[in-house]
Structure 1
Amino acid sequence: MKQRIFISSVQKEFAEERQALKAYLLGDALLSRFFDIFLFEDLPASDRRADAAYLDEVRRCDLYLALLGNEYGAEDVDGLSPTQREFNEATRLGKTRIVFVKGMDDAGRHPKMRALITMAGAQLIRRRFTTDTELIAAVYASLVQYLEDTGVLQFLPFDERLHPEASLDDLDPKTIARFVRQARYERQFPLAESSPITNILTHLNILREGRPTQAALLLFGRDPQRFFPSAEIRCMHFHGTEIQRPAPFYRIFKENLFCPHEEVASGRAAGKTDSESLHQVRRVS
């Protein structure tokens, strides 16, 4: 599902920049896969108060993007402009905010706009721009950073990545305990079965930032298919050493990696006897 960006600014002052940003972001091969853009001027005429409409859109958005310039905008009875109210609402709701200020100094700005820029600067990192090209480059960099920070874009190897929806609660403590018990018996694993799960995962290098890596989900997950629908183990059993078609036994396992391993090793999955062998075990992910 695409994330929604709310672009906030004085419309007349930034009419060109607003349209340029929308056209660029929706036309970019990468960003268009992840974002939709909201501009207030795209709303059709309706029997709604303007302030109710734009504040509702702020609530619906995932990112709030502000363009601040010289003009403050039309003030309501409380002396606040739409841009000010939008910024305040995004702040109140804890939305991710990225703010861009036009111009290298604050000369000529409305006093309330200077105050808004100062307020924003006390809460987050602003970026200044003078041209559309500079603005687009700065917005692009911020959005790519956002995608990296939220785990949507990842440049680590698959096993080392964090899944954006996974937490330690998605791991099966019984499977981890069974692994530790077997590893201590066969490989002199140094940690006890009663050790905290985070200590075990850290020792195995499958914990990052307090969260399980994708490798941990495949190894110990309660339901790996929830995160990786294509992750499965396919087991084929043959009588003797010759490959036969169709295989006498063929089964697809969709549990974590240790569940089918234990079944296959014990022979329960294929009804294995001393004179039979498991010819192929293949992981597909």
Structure 2
Amino acid sequence: GPENKQGISPVELEFEQATKKSKHRLIFLKGKDDKKRHPKMQSLISRATPHVVRRRFTTIDELKKELYAALVQFLCDSKIISCTPFDESACPGATLADISDEKVAWFIPVAKKERGFPLNPGTPTEQVLKHLDLLEAAQPTNAAILLFGLKPQKYMPTAEIKCMHYHGTVVAKPIPSHQIFTGTLFDQVDQATDFILSKINRTVPPRDSAPISETKYEIPKEVIQEAVVNAVAYRDYTSAASVQVSVFSDRIEVRNPGNLPSDLTFEDLKIEHNSRPRNHRIALPLYFTHYIEKIGYGTIQMTTGCRDAGLPEPDFSQSGREFVVTLWRDWLTDAVMKDLGINARQKIAIKIVKETSRVNSTDYSTLAKISRQTAFRDLNDLVRKGVLEKQGVTGKGTYYTLHKRLIKVTYDPVHGEG
């Protein structure tokens, strides 16, 4: 439609107002080539993509199908129509014979120790499942099979975690390491977490000075496990896709089928927000066994865990119909700093930015006991080397943040970075 005096179209105005008021938003895009669209529309699509589910269509029939599915989902999520959630539904064909008594026996004492679970060891399997609301008319629910099943993939083949390790920063074949983990959700989380930990850097204290349990990983184990648990607890199990973990040289990506609730933004995930567990019956046993610290706080814990470890905050995004968590690795190792020629003074600046997420010339000059001019030169040298990113133009509001990966920049010694 026609733009207003500020050059904003009705579509953009509608989107901005709906976002401010936390309204449910649906975006349907015709065609697949966004490069042919007007630059302003490209910009709107780019801004909207991280916050809402967008679907594409080429024909009117496809649009009707996508719109119908989206509206039904909205009505279910809003409790306007009755829809039994997947995890609460009876698993077709499953019986109590498909439940592992051994897994249930393992669960009881762990849940009792961690969260004061009221049932005692030796309680019959059926009684435990009833207590956890994992039976539907004496038949195991989908959640029961996923958590305690003998062979969960017999009924849900894509309920698995695919783990891949790449030496570089992009997907490339052949894949150096590729494993698929199945079994119960407890087993999958343990195996996927161990896979990631085996591929990242760690420091092990000498045997005579500390127990092996104090092994320190470049990304805290708790953060990694939280990302994996979040994926299996919140994924859409009606999707034919699996949870996918990719370990790159600069980051770890954890993808799960599903979408962020439309009234939440990715910025909301880093602060206290209302919990909207997609699979509450799955999340609760994970909470009892301390796989989940607190239901609804996983993304906050990932954020604070990375920040406390001196790492960049994780990124949360939507890629098509997949929710993506990106954990950034500590790429700025001693070896990298040596190769870049970073001096002892500049390491103080890097320490500040890792601990506080930012640094300015005043704080740096004070802590390093150097002049403001030297501090300014040091910080801009780190910008030139691709370590820091300058925020602001000039004045007291200028500060520097750490790049999430090494950035190669061109540099003009007169005007600054190009």
Shorter-chain TM band: 0.3 to 0.5
What is the TM-score when the length of structure 2 is the normalising length? 0.27
Q: Is the radius of gyration larger for structure 1 or structure 2? A: 1
What is the TM-score when the length of structure 1 is the normalising length? 0.39
